[in-house]
Amino acid sequence: MSRVKVLMLRAPGTNRDGDTQIAFETAGAVVDSALVSELFRGEKKLLDYHIAVIPGGFTYGDDISAGKIMANEIRLRLGEDVQKFVDDGRLILGICNGFQVLVKTGILPGIRGAGQQPVTLTNNDSGRFECRWVYLRVNPKSPCVFTRGIDMMYVPVAHGEGKLVAAPGVLEKLNVVVQYTDEKGNTGAGYPCNPNGSVNDIAGICDDSGRIFGLMPHPEDFIRATQHPRWTRERRRRTGDGLAVFVNAVKWARGI
């Protein structure tokens, strides 16, 4: 097939699109960027792409709640296109604000009969913006396409509303992909290993197909060895831990 095409969906306030574009291009994809309003006007079409990604930032200033305005726009004006995109077996990735958008549209967790928005991401328990590096453990039983072959990751977070909470009866149905841990991979380590107080240390989830993935940490910020905060003091790495997420996505999309 031709090169994998990625569409990066932006809105006013998106600010992590540059890093996300570099990550996908490093993984071998061709990346196009568009404001959601361009899709509303038909200037670009979602179904022309293999992967859709909503990067981090503060869309519309997070003035109502993080990601809520963009989520409403996508749900009300692009809902049919998104459903067709998913039904065709394509991939969706939401990072940080993008994860907030995905849960507030109801695209994630994708549990049938669970209501329009059975989970949300709310204010950090610390009551402040958390910007730090965290350890993540990948659930080996997860169907997630993006994390295949990955055991652990060390990547940064930067958010004020990253605490995942779920409606009663929903938590046990979630496809948990990554959890916050200590440096040895143990969950339950508490703050600051879990920077936001997310229930069950959940840092990211996917739908049943494994093709829609949302997470609060930023894998796009650790694709080169020199992005590690201790790269001059520890063993030299070939690549950053986050690059595999994008390589997995591009590899999968080549088979669509």
Sign of the torsion formed by the C-alpha atoms of 236, 249, 47 and 83: negative
Distance, CA of 121 to CA of 66 (rounded, Å): 8
Structure-block tokens of residue 230: 């201790």
Provide the Cα torsion 18, 21, 22, 28; round to 10°. -170
- Is 213 in contact with 124 (CB distance < 8 Å)? no
Residues identified as active-site: 96, 218, 220
Distance, CA of 179 to CA of 150 (rounded, Å): 13
- Is 128 in contact with 196 (CB distance < 8 Å)? no
List, in sequence order, every beta strand (DSSP E) within 71-174: 91-95, 119-122, 130-138, 152-159, 163-166
Alpha-carbon distance values, 166 to 33, 111, 115, 214 (Å): 32, 12, 11, 15
Distance, CA of 253 to CA of 6 (rounded, Å): 10
- Is 121 in contact with 103 (CB distance < 8 Å)? yes
